[in-house]
Amino acid sequence: MDERAIYRAVGRRLRQRRRFLDLTLEDIARACSVSFQQIQKYESGTSAISVAKLVVLADALQVPASFFVENLNFESRPRTDAEVESFRANAA
């Protein structure tokens, strides 16, 4: 999954949760100290959300920050055994 696809997927979850709570763009913008236009950009996936802003958004939407990225398929290709082993070695 490329970066733009991730931005769009996170934006869809943001919009979904905002609408579920029956909140306006302005409501969320005020809670997060950004413009409603910025929230529109987040929701459309045209603007990346920083980790700090994602945490603020999650708090305003009453969900854990992981809500926005859970079960997203970030990998567009399978990893080779060597890549997996290298990752494991670096993580240890």
Collect the ranges in the chain with pLDDT lower than 50: 76
Angular region, 33: left φ>0, alpha ψ -120 to 50, beta rest: left
Burial of 49: CB neighbours in 10 Å, binned 0-12, 13-18, 19+: buried
Predicted local confidence at residue 33, as pLDDT: 95
Predicted local confidence at residue 71, as pLDDT: 85
Tokens at 45, concatenated: 């996936």
Predicted local confidence at residue 16, as pLDDT: 95
Predicted local confidence at residue 8, as pLDDT: 92
Predicted local confidence at residue 34, as pLDDT: 96
**Cβ pair 74, 1 in contact under 8 A:** yes
Round to whole Å and give the CA distance between 39 and 54: 11
DSSP 74: -
Q: What is the pTM of this model?
A: 0.76
Predicted local confidence at residue 74, as pLDDT: 56
